[in-house]
Amino acid sequence: MQFRVTNQHGSSMIIGNGDPDAFSPIDLLLAAIAGCTAMDVDAITGKRAEPERYEVDIRADKIKDVGGNRLVNIEIDFQVRFPDSEAGAAAAAVLP
């Protein structure tokens, strides 16, 4: 249950189960959601000020039921700190 995936640029990685160094498909899905959201937030706030701290955590619960396997309770948590300046306040104001 391991596969090598390669993008159009030639970069590749192993996905699957059983290897602690491999990403599972769920890991990749959550990373893609967090990464896409983080890039959007950075594009909006970065026009105003660069953050001093920028961390994004994502978690979800995988359940199996009669409907199949799925993720529920997906939570994304941003820990962002901007400089104590007018530009930092402007960046923080657009974050919500």
- What is the Rg, in whole angstroms, of the alpha carbon atoms belonging to the chain? 18
Q: Say how far apart CA 96 and CA 94 lie, in whole Å.
A: 6
Q: Is the separation of the CB atoms in 81 and 75 below 8 Å?
A: no
- CATH architecture of the domain with range 2-94: 2-Layer Sandwich (3.30)
Spatial separation of the C-alpha atoms in residues 43 and 31, rounded to whole Å: 18
pTM reported for the whole predicted model? 0.81
How would you write the pLDDT of the chain (96 residues) with one tens digit per residue? 888 889 999 999 889 887 777 888 899 999 999 999 999 999 999 999 999 999 999 999 999 999 888 999 999 999 999 999 999 999 999 988
